[in-house]
Amino acid sequence: MRVDLALQGGGAHGAFTWGVLDRLLEEPKLQLDGISGTSAGAMNAAVLVDGYAKGGAEGARRALEAFWRRVSRASQFSPFRRGPLDVLFGRWTLDYSPTFLTMDMVARLFSPYDLNPGGTNPLRTILAESIDFAHLAEGPIKLFVTATNVRTGRGRVFRNTDLTIDALLASACLPNMFQAIEIDGDAYWDGGYAGNPTITPLVRECESSDTILVQINPIERPGTPRSARNILSRLNEVSFNSVLLKELKMIALLRQMVCLGDDESARWASMRIHRISSDVLLELGYSSKLNGEWAFLTMLRDQGRHAAEGFLEAHRADLGRRSTLDLDTLLEGV
């Protein structure tokens, strides 16, 4: 069974996606056709494809674990650490970390060009150690990584043959934390502003008609945020989900049309969409996206594996037959 994957970004929360991928790679009947990823989703995707090219599914699983171990080791030198009470009560938030609170305030007054004039990014070394980009160009799985062009505001999709460390860093470049990444004379920011992730290339360039969305940015969140940090966090979630929702709405609309018009419209309308997510992610705030502790990452990995297992138990037989994500609800009120 050929499937595509759509992987969202979300900093350290991307370890949840690691767990989902780890479980899906154990399924012998699943064959990955293409993967679209943004930010942490793009890094998971690139590491998977590189590992798969070297050693098949097991090679991909080993590569993903090695990547996240490197992330965790690098975070040991990070000033963003949980406070003693958070450790004592098992809270993963950094909301009470003096360093995080200070940097959160400073980031509202100064840009990365003021605070980090050299443009240092620890992910550059991690990616260089984790990925052989020659394998991406030759890999059997199609890769689509989205970054946002600062000048035009439009997304650019990087594919296997033009993927570089800079392209992956651009896809994960939050403008209040890192300097924009320059590629071919243009500056790029996080791909989440233009597609988190982008579905279009999966429809147009892949043979599979089943796309599994691994969602780590909640579309719905109960209650109204009242603190400045929670308001900003929810604004980011809404912004980073907006383009994805538009693409999913387009699929839903095309399904309801009597006349599909042309082959591409028919292709969009025939897509079967599935989703893997977890309520655990609803309980985690923005600050925990910067928490690289191994215990936190492995907790998220285990939650990802659990969510993937639940999805397979409930919907394994639906793959190749029907969508399991109700897209019609997205049209309510439209």
**Two tokens, residue 95:** 């909301």
**CA distances, 276 to each of 85, 285, 311 (Å):** 32, 19, 7
Res 86 pLDDT > 80:
no
* Alpha carbons 196 and 204: distance in angstroms, whole number: 17
217 pLDDT tier (thresholds 50, 70, 90): confident
The predicted structure's pLDDT at residue 97: 78
Structural domains counted in the chain: 1
253 has a pLDDT exceeding 60:
yes
What is the arithmetic mean of pLDDT over 215-227? Answer: 81
For residue 257, the model assigns a pLDDT of 65
39 catalytic per annotation: yes
Q: 239 or 170: which carries more pLDDT confidence? A: 170
Query: Which one of 39, 97, 287, 323 is the catalytic residue?
Result: 39
Beta strands in the chain (DSSP E): 2-7, 31-37, 142-149, 155-159, 181-183, 186-190, 210-214, 272-276
**Catalytic option among 22, 190, 208, 288:** 190
Mean pLDDT of the chain: 88
Q: Could you read off the pLDDT of 29-55 as tens digits, one per residue?
A: 999 999 999 999 999 999 999 999 999
| pLDDT above 90 as % of the chain | 59
Residue 171 known to be catalytic: no
Residue 297 has pLDDT above 90, yes or no: yes
Query: Does the pLDDT value for residue 206 go beyond 90?
Result: yes
The residues that bridge with 2 in the sheet, in sequence order, are 31
**pLDDT tens-digit series, residues 99-145:** 777 877 787 788 889 888 888 899 999 999 999 998 898 878 999 99
CA distance linking residue 45 with residue 37, whole number of Å: 6
For residue 124, the domain's CATH number is: 3.40.1090
Q: What are the CB-based long-range contacts (under 8 Å, 24+) for 65-71?
A: 65/18, 65/22, 66/130, 67/43, 67/126, 67/130, 68/15, 68/18, 68/297, 68/301, 69/294, 70/126, 70/129, 70/130, 71/12, 71/126, 71/292, 71/297
Q: Which domain holds residue 292?
A: 2-331
